[in-house]
Chain A
Amino acid sequence: MTKSYDLARIITGCKGGDAQCYSQIVDIYSSRCYGYFYRLTGNNDISDELLSELFVKLVEKIGSYKGGSFESWLFKIASNIFHDHLRSKQRRKKLLETQKTELESEKIEPKKSGGELTDKLQIQLGRLDEDTRELIMLRFYSQLSFKEIAQMRSEPIGTTLAKTHRALKKLRELV
């Protein structure tokens, strides 16, 4: 109750343009959002970019938040940003395909980034299809309930449950 009250106060402050409240939002959500982007892209630099973009978007769009689950709203923006990134990557890939670049491997296979080896989980996540991977990331990093995830993805909750179960079971077997 206290947490939700505080969050409501912080969001109100954000709507009023209070930089301190935005700072608090960044402190609360940066870790989870970064994890979400990192697990989807497997790349630190891209995750940095996407995280920055997310909070810039937050400033621009905070007026459109009309209550309800803030996490759901925030991760919807995060998901859109990730999809925009995928689309722009696809466009770049098409352009570079003629030059026989290896962008394809960057998309699926995790690789070294920021001087550190990607972990075993990241390698296995790279073997899942994008949709499934995103579903699992939403479940784990957004902390949303299955009902909220289903609403966000505009699909029946039964479908979300079945997909998540299948994906997590597969991931467990792989790891």
Chain B
Amino acid sequence: MKDQENLRELFGKFFDDEQAARYVEDIQKAEQIFREYPAPEPDDMLIANIKAEIAMRLQAKRAHHFRRIFYEVVGAAAAIIFVAAISLQLFKQAPPTDREVNHASLIPTAIWETDDITTTDEDLAVFKAQIEQIEDEVIALQSGEDTVNGDSTLVELEVELIEINSDFWKG
């Protein structure tokens, strides 16, 4: 601060003693002029307005501060939710677990390894056996092995074959 400095000593560092003394005197006298001609004081109304403006700015600053905290919290929450959602998605897309493999292994391996689906379905197997039997009978009839009820037997067999066929497609 100005009142704590020793001007004589300060000027003495740069000028000789006589010069320093003269310079210090010049400065002190010039500063005396400022005291003789004081600048006008600020108006009371101006000071009151400044204080009011400051109070208003402080309020706005506080509001801004709280708003910023709110946005930061919301932003952080959104980021957490986003990361959680992404993690969940990645978790769902992860390779099947042992449990899922076990479920898959319940399906008979044969079903994946053969083109003949009748080997895995009992109903189909029965149908297939019946069809084969009827075919054999038809062949036998056609070749003249069964001649007792020749024509009617053939018609019965054909009807039976059609029934089985339609039952098959109905499931």
Q: Is the CB of B57 within 8 A of A59?
A: yes
Question: 3 tightest CB-CB pairs across the interface, nearest first?
Answer: A168-B30, A35-B39, A121-B37
B-side interface residues, number (CB < 8 Å):
37
CB<8 Å pairs between A and B, sample of 27: A19-B55, A22-B58, A23-B51, A27-B47, A30-B50, A31-B41, A34-B42, A39-B39, A48-B42, A48-B43, A55-B50, A59-B58, A60-B57, A114-B40, A121-B37, A136-B30, A140-B34, A145-B2, A145-B5, A148-B1, A157-B10, A158-B14, A161-B10, A161-B23, A165-B27, A168-B29, A171-B33
1/0 per residue A114-126: CB within 8 Å of B? 1010011110000
- Please provide the chain A residues from 54 to 107 with a CB less than 8 Å away from any CB of chain B in the complex: 55-56, 59-60, 69, 71
B61 within 8 A of A: yes
Q: Cα distance A172–B33 when bound, in Å?
A: 8
Residues of A within 8 A of B26 (CB): 165, 168-169, 172
- In this complex, what residue of A is CB-closest to B36? A121
Residue picked from B7, B42, B61, B62, most chain A C-beta under 10 Å: B42
Q: How long is the Cα–Cα vector from A161 to B6 in the complex, in angstroms?
A: 13
Residues of B near A31 (CB, < 8 A) are 41-42
A12 within 8 A of B: no
Q: How far is the CB of A33 from chain B (nearest CB, A)?
A: 8
Listed residue (A114, A116, A119) with the most chain B CB atoms within 10 angstroms of its CB = A119
Given contacts A17-B62, A147-B5, A161-B10, 5 further A-B contacts (CB under 8 A): A22-B55, A31-B41, A139-B2, A140-B34, A157-B10
A-B pair count, CB < 8 Å, reads 113
Contacting residues, chain A, for B115 (C-beta < 8 A): none
The interface residues of chain B lying within 8 Å CB-to-CB of A146 are 5, 7, 10
Given A38-B39, A48-B43, A23 contacting B54 (CB threshold 8 A): yes
A30 and B53 CA atoms in complex are apart in Å by 14
Alpha-carbon distance A118/B51, docked complex (angstroms): 27
Whether A56 touches B39, Cβ cut-off 8 Å, given contacts A26-B47, A161-B14, A168-B26, is: no
Restricting to A136-166, which residues have a CB under 8 Å from any CB of B? Answer: 136, 139-141, 143-148, 157-158, 161-162, 164-165
Which chain B positions have C-beta within 8 A of A27? Answer: 47
Query: Are B31 and A168 in contact (CB-based, < 8 A)?
Result: yes
Residues in A with CB closer than 8 Å to B38 are 35
Question: B58 — which chain A residues lie within 8 A by C-beta?
Answer: 17, 19, 22, 59
CA distance A144 to B58 in the complex (A): 29
B109 an interface residue at 8 Å Cβ cutoff?
no
Q: Which of B7, B30, B36, B37 has the most CB of A within 10 A?
A: B30
What is the bound-complex CA distance between A27 and B48, given in angstroms?
Answer: 10
Tell me whether B27 and A143 are in contact (CB under 8 A): no
